[in-house]
Structures are given as structure tokens and as C-alpha cells.
Amino acid sequence: MITLEADLHTHTVASGHAYSTIKENAEAANFKNLKILAMTDHAPAMPGSANILHFGNLRALPRYINNVMILRGVELNVLDTQGSVDFPEMFFGRNLLARMDWVIASLHENILTPEPGFDYTGLYIAIAENPAVDLIGHPDTPAFSFDIEEVVKAFKANNKIVELNEHHAFETSEQSRINAKKIMKACAKHGVYISVNSDAHTCWDVGRHKQAVKMLEEIKFPEELIFNAKASRVLDYLFKKHPTLKDELNNF
């Protein structure tokens, strides 16, 4: 039985089209026995979402709310077929993107209009090669198809984590579910970490992962490659990426 200790993709009111606060999301995460919650509001290109100051000021948040560790994250929008993203690297003279705890990069059809018949392999490889990105968000969109073998090999080579998104893979289209299953099988074959996330836009959806877990159990996905099955796995990764984070948590 697969259990999860972190939800690494959630939205708050700051996204503009989500409905709960970070306090409400953290309470829900605690209720569901999660140890880590990533707050990943949409980056500025999403209409109505937070502006850059929201991300620049995330350190105003406590490190723990209701005994749940809060990761200061963002869901970037991919803007073009070169893999450009909607986040300035420098903010008041600092590399803000590199300082974020947790960075998701996702393709959204309202931001990047899909071109019928276009092969998105090159775009996904460009995202794989972006050192700021941790997690590839919901890569199952049928309109953005790519060579799964080639792309998953690039994710492996660049130490990327691939998302199985409870909402996107199971509640948008049958083809998304089919694509997600193929991608998960390729990740198992190539030893690529995956992360099962809710993409919650309300506190009631935080920690929701039933359909994703059922699929992973069906295909006998190896537990050791489920990144957020263990909080310690997430922390080991973060401490390598951010050497000062361990001290910051100890001193909190």
C-alpha cells in the first residue's frame, strides 16, 4: 500500500483562481498526516495570479504551519517552444528562482497555444535542461505530445522529478490518463523519480491522490522511486539543493 508524506503541488488564493489560504491548506495537510506541503502558486503569466513580489516575499511565511513544513514554491508557465519561463531570474539583485525551495514547470494551454501536429520533444528536453526546475508538472496533456522515451531519458540525465497529477491525469481526458500511464512506466524503466500531487485549488483537495495511487499500484511502480512517499527523501534532495536550509529549519 503506497502512502505519501508530502503534497508538492498546491495553490492558494494568491493564484487568483484558487480558493483557500496557506493556513487552511496547512491545516488540511496536517489532518491528512502530511509532513511537507509545497505552496506552488502560478507564476505571473497566468491571468489573475500573483505578481513577482509575492514570490520575492515568501520568506515572510513561517517554516512550519500546524506541524507541516511549508516549501516556498512556484508553478512556472512555459511560454514558448524553446522552454522559456515566466519568472525573472534577478529580483533586487538576487537570483530569486535559484532561491525558491521548489520549482515546478508546466505547460498550460491558455498560456502556450498548442500547435496541432507539433512534436514537443525539444521543448520538454529544454525544460529538463533548466537547472532551476525540480518537478515537471502534469506532462500528460494530449495537445503537447512528445517522444516519451527520449524525454524521460533527458529527465533522468538532468535529475528531474516527474509529476503524476491527481486532477490533471485522471479528471481532464481519457488520453491524459493513457499518457500518464505510459510516462510512469517509462520513469520506472529508466529509474526516474516521480511525485504524486493533488494540484489542489481548495484546501479540501490537499493530499488527494486516490486515483494516482491506484494506477501506480496497478503497474507495480517501484516505491523507492516515489519521491514524496517519504518526507526524508524530499528533505535529502532539498538539503543538497539548498545547503543552508538545514540550519534554517534547525533554528526555526
CB of 116 to Zn ion, least distance (A): 21
155 contacts: CB under 8 Å, gap ≥ 6: 128, 136, 161, 162, 187, 190, 192
Count other Cβ atoms within 10 Å, centred on residue 247: 10
Closest CA to 178 of 154, 130, 145: 145
Provide CB contacts within 8 A for 38, sequence distance 6+.
6, 7, 8, 9, 10, 70, 71, 73, 101, 102
Q: Which is nearer to Zn ion, 7 or 199 (CB)?
A: 199
Minimum distance from residue 4 beta carbon to Zn ion (Å): 17
Q: Is 205 in the site for Zn ion (CB under 5 A)?
A: no
Q: Which of 20, 77, 106, 176 binds Zn ion (CB under 5 A)?
A: 106
Q: Which span sits near Zn ion by CB under 5 A: 30-38, 73-81, 221-229, 238-246?
A: 73-81
Nearer to Zn ion, 75 or 101 (CB): 75
Give ∠ CA 3-6-8 in degrees, rounded to 5.
130
d(CA 223, CA 178): 21
Nearer to Zn ion, 75 or 134 (CB): 75
Amino acid at 17: H
If one asks whether residue 199 binds Zn ion (CB under 5 A), the answer comes out as: yes
- Closest approach of Cβ 111 to Zn ion, in Å? 10
Q: 125 or 199: whose CB is closer to Zn ion?
A: 199
Question: What residue number has its CB nearest to Zn ion?
Answer: 106
**Least Cβ distance, residue 25 to Zn ion (angstroms):** 13
CB 153: neighbour CB atoms within 10 A? 17
Of 106 and 195, CB closest to Zn ion: 106
Cβ proximity to Zn ion, 106 vs 179, nearer residue:
106
Bridge partners of residue 136, in order along the sequence: 105, 162
41 touches Zn ion by CB under 5 A:
no
Nearest 5°: phi and psi at 8? -105, 20
State phi, psi for 244 to the nearest 5 degrees: -90, -5
Nearer to Zn ion, 86 or 190 (CB): 86
How many residues interact with Zn ion (rule CB under 5 A)?
3
Least Å distance between CB 18 and Zn ion?
Answer: 8
Which span (101-109, 148-156, 207-215, 240-248) binds Zn ion, by CB under 5 A? 101-109
Are residues 155 and 186 in contact, defined by beta-carbon separation less than 8 angstroms?
Answer: no
Residue window 13-32: x/- pattern of binding to Zn ion, with contact defined by CB under 5 A: --------------------
Residues that bind Zn ion (CB under 5 A): 75, 106, 199
